[in-house]
Amino acid sequence: MPIHQINPNKWIDSYSDYLFNFTISRVSDREIAQDLVQDTFLAALKSMKNFKGEASERTWLISILKRKIIDYYRKINSNKGKAEMRISYNGDSETEGDWLEERVADPFDKTAEDKMQNEELGEAILKCLSKLPVKQAEVFKMKTIQGFDTKVICNELNITASNLWVIIHRARTSMATCLKENWF
């Protein structure tokens, strides 16, 4: 017997801000975060029949959103020629190099300090991005955040590939310096 009921008519009012804040701390781009939240609501509507009511509506929506975020990063990484990312986060030989997706923390397990740090980092990234020259910010977003192919960016902005890489290098250097001053 289901404990929780589902009510899609209240999703936007009840969960959109929470889902957006959760997303922006992970993708650091407002448009992409908004798109991912919209994709989450659409996917939830399509799979409402699969909602068993064993978890709260919010928990169910977060689980869908997590998959959307992982798919977003997989798409970016596959555009760079990487299907998956591995990360070495401890010395235990059995688990060393486990898939990054397996280590994504549940937001409900986070402490208030973790949540505040994620929000602060997201804000710091957006602040640093806004300090870049317009062209650098645009190239950085297109290449690093949105994962566009070099050729597409060059055609769209009418620049050469070598110019693109110089702009990306400068943008990354500026972002690193700005984050070091504003976040670390």
CATH-assigned architecture of domain 131-184:
Orthogonal Bundle (1.10)
Please give the Cα distance from 15 to 22 (Å, whole number): 11
From-to residues of CATH 1.10.1740.10 in the chain: 1-87
Give pLDDT, residue 147: 79
From-to residues of CATH 1.10.10 in the chain: 131-184
Q: Does domain 1-87 have CATH number 3.10.129.10?
A: no
CA distances from 139 to 35, 109, 169 (A): 20, 36, 10
CA angle 123, 26, 109 (to 5 degrees): 105
Q: For residue 63, what pLDDT band results from cuts at 50, 70 and 90? A: confident
Mean of the pLDDT values across residues 39-63? 85
Give pLDDT, residue 9: 86
Closest residue by Cα to residue 123 from 183, 77, 63, 66: 183
Between the CA atoms of 114, 118, 124 and 130, what dihedral angle is there, to the nearest 10 degrees? -170
pTM above 0.75, yes or no: no
The more confident residue out of 99 and 37 is 37
Question: Is residue 74 scored above 60 in pLDDT?
Answer: yes
